[in-house]
Each structure stands twice: as structure tokens, then as C-alpha cells.
């Protein structure tokens, strides 16, 4: 396994539509293993293949149980609700923007051997599914925002969310 360099905003490869994975071979397995190691080292929650310069439809995500989930040729098959929250991206380091995403999303994808499966998630997971799958179509979250959040805005958001959760209990 090897840590790959994460390409950042401005790199052409982040703006291309990625091709479907059709061969579930050793080359794909090495890519997924490297992506997982790269994501872990960067301490992110999701990484798409174009972020390491590979224009293929593959994504790795850290799920709610801290397990790495591999999604090959993923697509959103159902979503509902909406939540706006600060969102960041390893290809746009150190920045945050407020993005509205579905609160719930269900995804269909293939594993590294080509077997289809479905998975779903709420809140951060749903946000992550949407964010990473957008990468595969050459889009970055910054297209959804009108400004980057200041540290104060990010802090205020989480304070408010915490207060909201306390009120809810
Ligand atoms: Zn990203």
C-alpha cells in the first residue's frame, strides 16, 4: 500500500467525468487500498479516485462505525430531507462552506469484486455520499456555496447545533 498525493482545486482532473470501473482486478484493489491509506493519513471522511488523479468511479468513505467503506460505480438511488451544514474537502484544504444536502441517502454500488450492494446513511454519511459521488462527475462542493465560512461562522454553527440537540432532549 502507498499513500498517494491528493490533488487540489485547480487541477484539471477534479473537473472531469470519471469512467465506470469495468475490471475488478488487482489494479483496482491496489487503488482502493492506497485510497484508504491516503484517507486515513489525511484524517478525512471520504476520498474519491479523481482526488488521487485517477479518473475512475471509485470512492472510499469512513462510515458511522469508523469502518472504511469501498464504493465502486456508486449511485444515489433514494434520498430525502435536507440539512445545511459546514462541508470541507481534502482537495480544498483548510476551507469550509455551508452546503445543503439530503439528510438521508441510499446508495447502490459494487464492491472490489464487482458484487452489487446497497447501503444508506443519515446526516454526515448522506452528505459524504453526495459529496464523493459529485467528485466522480467532476464537481466540487464549492460550486454550491457563495462564500467560504469564517472560523467564527463554523464555530457558531456547531454551538447552535449543540444547543438545538440539548433542547431536543
Ligand atoms: Zn471532496
Output the CA 25–ligand 1 centroid distance in Å.
25
Output the CA 12–ligand 1 centroid distance in Å.
14
| Contact status, residue 51 vs residue 18, Cβ threshold 8 Å | no
CATH architecture group of domain 12-167: Alpha-Beta Complex (3.90)
Task: Please identify which of the residues 20, 82, 122, 132 carries the catalytic annotation.
Answer: 132
pTM for this predicted structure: 0.95
Output the CA 169–ligand 1 centroid distance in Å.
33
pLDDT tens for the chain, 169 residues long, are 799 999 999 999 999 999 999 999 999 999 999 999 999 999 999 999 999 999 999 999 999 899 999 999 999 999 999 999 999 999 999 999 999 999 999 999 999 999 999 999 999 999 999 999 999 999 999 999 999 999 999 999 999 999 998 988 6
* 40 in catalytic set: no
Cα-to-chain-centroid distance, residue 96 = 14
First to last CA, the chain: 45
* Whole-angstrom distance, CA of residue 46 vs CA of residue 7: 14
Amino acid at each position: 500500500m502507498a499513500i498517494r498525493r491528493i490533488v487540489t482545486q485547480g487541477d484539471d482532473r477534479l473537473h472531469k467525468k470519471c469512467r465506470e470501473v469495468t475490471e475488478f482486478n488487482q489494479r483496482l484493489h491496489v487503488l482502493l487500498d492506497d485510497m484508504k491509506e491516503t484517507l486515513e493519513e489525511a484524517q478525512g471522511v471520504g476520498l474519491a479516485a479523481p482526488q488521487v488523479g485517477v479518473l475512475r468511479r471509485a470512492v472510499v468513505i469512513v462510515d458511522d462505525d469508523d469502518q472504511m467503506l469501498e464504493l465502486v460505480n456508486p449511485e444515489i438511488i433514494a434520498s430525502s430531507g435536507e440539512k445545511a451544514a459546514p462541508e470541507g474537502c481534502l482537495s480544498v484544504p483548510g476551507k469550509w462552506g455551508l452546503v445543503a444536502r439530503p439528510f438521508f441517502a441510499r446508495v447502490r454500488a459494487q464492491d472490489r469484486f464487482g458484487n452489487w450492494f446497497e447501503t444508506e446513511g443519515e446526516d454526515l454519511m448522506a452528505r459524504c455520499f453526495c459529496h464523493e459521488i459529485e467528485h466522480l462527475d467532476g464537481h466540487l462542493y464549492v460550486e454550491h456555496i457563495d462564500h467560504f465560512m469564517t472560523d467564527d461562522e463554523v464555530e457558531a454553527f456547531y454551538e447552535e447545533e449543540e444547543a438545538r440537540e440539548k433542547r431536543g432532549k
